[in-house]
Structure 1
Amino acid sequence: MPTTPAPAPPPPPFATARLDALPLQPAYAEEMAAVLADPALYVFTGGEPPGPVALRSRYERQCAGSPDAGERWWNWVLRVREDGSLAGYVQATVRGPRAEIAWVIGTPWQGRGYASEAAKGLAAYLVSAGGVRELVAHIHPDHAASAAVAVAAGLGPTGEWEGGERGWAANVPLPPMP
């Protein structure tokens, strides 16, 4: 009788000055549905706000991990330490030394530097703990706020395009040999 593979282990949490990045769990779906409820969040990415049931289903799939054994799906929700509210998420698809990263901050929490702080924290975590040497993001060319976050995280625009979005990347040098 075939066995179902065990869910992928979640990534460890990490923290920034004001945010706790907590490994994604389906239990966060209801609160995150409220965080992601503003249709303005989808102007550049398409789609529409997910309801709690759809979001829980998505989180269950994400927590199960990639069907590709060589790929890790790492997802965190962002909790604002000051008031305990969830404010958004960061994620990384890690394949070897390369990670594709993304971030979303709910509309009520925008303009406070949380996205830049979270993206910088994610990049630092992936390089120091995840062994990542190349960071990649895809950003709509008209999304100036996301471009500013990418710059804050150390990424720069590339000449590559995917699905109408510009590639942004950073290569992290390997540490010197002892």
Structure 2
Amino acid sequence: MDIGTIRTTRLDLLPLQVSHAAEMAVVLSDPALHTFIGGSPSTAEALRQRYERLVAGSPDPAVSWCNWVLRETSESRLVGTVQATVMGPTAEIAWVVGTPWQGRGYASEAARALVDHLSGRSLHTVIAHIHPDHLASAAVARAAGLAPTAEMQDGEVRWRRSLRA
């Protein structure tokens, strides 16, 4: 899937490149970002290796990995990421914004733009998985038009939005 750049009022969602790793390692360096998702911050080298795998694409031809970094246009600096894993008519999305840029609406702006971008494709459903205690992420999902379901997966609530009427 050709993902291209997505523009919003304050952000450019740029297709992920391996060269983003060093700057993104700083953006994602706060251990608090891992409170709900587990793990710990990656080094620039570990992130570079991960980005090499992501940019190469899924080994499964039925799955598309679509990854963007968020560039704040006023300062021309990276502030986070959004991603979509597309499998048939369904896209699973996720987002993260570095701690210094949280609370400014960047995640909501980026998630809305991502869902709008995906709705122009032949997709039926957008899904996100959110820890039940992660209120900020739940607010982002709502802003992107997703609603919580009664489904749980790995301790997270499945949120869903139908792209078809």
Please indicate, yes or no, whether the TM-score normalized by the shorter chain is above 0.5: yes
- How far did residue 46 of structure 1 move? 0.3
Percent identity between matched residues is 57
Give the one of 155, 158, 163 matched to 1:167: 158
Over the aligned positions, Cα root-mean-square deviation in angstroms equals: 1.0
Alignment of 1:135 with 2:109, yes or no, is: no
In 1, Cα distance between equivalents of 2:98 and 2:124: 29
1:49-80 deviation line (CA, Å, top 9, x unaligned): 00000000000000111111011000000000
Q: What are structure 2's unaligned runs of at least 5 residues?
A: none
**Structure-2 residue corresponding to 1:114:** 106
Asked if residue 54 in structure 1 is aligned to residue 13 in structure 2, the reply is: no
Deviation at 1:159, TM superposition (A): 1.1
How is 1:1-178 mapped onto 2 (pairs within 5 angstroms)?
A: 11-128=3-120, 130-173=121-164
Q: Comparing 55-64 with 10-19, which one deviates more in the overlay?
A: 10-19
Contact 1:10 1:23 in 2 (8 A): no
Tell me the TM-score normalized by structure 2.
0.98
The structure whose Rg is larger is 1
* Displaced runs of 4 or more, over 6 A: none
Aligned length: 165
Tell me the TM-score normalised to structure 1 length. Answer: 0.91
List alignment gaps of at least 5 residues for structure 1. Answer: 1-8
Task: Judge which range, 45-54 or 165-174, deviates more.
Answer: 165-174
